[in-house]
Amino acid sequence: MNIQLAIVRACLGDGCRVRLLESGDVIDVRQDSRSVHRDRLRYGYLAAVDLECEPAIVWHWQRAQALIWRPNSVLAVLPEGRLAECQTASQMPADIGAAPEVWVSLVGGAWEVHDAVLHGLPAHPERLIAWVLDQRVVEHA
């Protein structure tokens, strides 16, 4: 398995065009069955792409505006304007505790904060890849 992060550029049907963060290449990928139970992908989302065989998005995060930082959570505004209480993920780096924007994801029915947004990108991309691998989402094809 070869997981890389990408920014979603456009989606239509079960496929998307993404820009890989590592190389800057723009490629077409499919939305894998491992991620279809989640909300619809949109422009600007951060995606974990499995590049083995046919490239596919296996997980994604939304960019949210952090309003209030609490000891174990963040009150954030999601892209559609809805407020959400987002629990801080256990692997979240301590240095993002006051970031104005964060990458959030719906995990098991609850919102979680996984990283800070830094110049439109994740501040700690290697930690997000490790999180995806730890969740074993790539094994649930």
pLDDT digits 0-9 by tens, 7-36: 999 998 889 999 999 999 999 999 876 554
Please check whether residues 35 and 75 belong to one and the same domain.
no
CATH code of 18's domain: 2.40.50.140
Please check whether residues 83 and 39 belong to one and the same domain.
no
Please check whether residues 40 and 92 belong to one and the same domain.
no
Please check whether residues 100 and 128 belong to one and the same domain.
yes
Q: What is the pLDDT of residues 47-60, one digit of tens each?
A: 999 998 889 999 99
**Token pair of 135 as six digits:** 């969740």
Q: What is the pLDDT of residues 68-91, one digit of tens each?
A: 999 889 999 999 899 999 998 877
Please check whether residues 69 and 124 belong to one and the same domain.
yes
Q: What is the pLDDT of residues 94-131, one digit of tens each?
A: 777 788 999 999 998 899 999 999 999 999 999 999 99
Please check whether residues 94 and 33 belong to one and the same domain.
no
Spatial separation of the C-alpha atoms in residues 122 and 118, rounded to whole Å:
6
Please check whether residues 67 and 117 belong to one and the same domain.
yes
Q: Residue 95: give the domain boundaries.
A: 62-135
pLDDT confidence band for 141 (50 / 70 / 90): very low
Please check whether residues 46 and 77 belong to one and the same domain.
no
Does 115 fall in a domain? yes
Please check whether residues 53 and 66 belong to one and the same domain.
no
pLDDT confidence band for 140 (50 / 70 / 90): very low
Number of folded domains in the chain?
A: 2
Higher-pLDDT residue of 119, 93 = 119
- What pLDDT sits at residue 89? 83
Does 113 fall in a domain? yes
Please check whether residues 23 and 86 belong to one and the same domain.
no
Phi-psi region of 71 (alpha: psi -120 to 50; beta: other; left: phi over 0): alpha
**Pair 18, 44: CB distance under 8 Å:** no
Does 140 fall in a domain? no
Higher-pLDDT residue of 64, 136 = 64
**Pair 16, 29: CB distance under 8 Å:** yes
